[in-house]
Amino acid sequence: MADLEINYFYKSLVLMIPIQLAATIFMTKVRIKGEN
């Protein structure tokens, strides 16, 4: 059970990385457009 929870945690972590990157890039673009 513990191994399954750790595996699920790492899978969710790996899935969150591209989402966080996309959100950061999106917010940066919005701020740049807002300043210009």
- pLDDT value of residue 5: 92
Q: What is the pLDDT of residues 1-36, one digit of tens each?
A: 689 999 999 999 999 999 999 999 999 999 999 887
CA 10 to chain centre: 13
Letter string b/e over residues 2-32, b meaning 16 or more CB atoms within 10 A of that residue's CB? eeeeeeeeeeeeeeeeeeeeeeeeeeeeeee
pTM score of the predicted model: 0.57
Phi and psi torsions of 16, nearest 5°: -75, -25
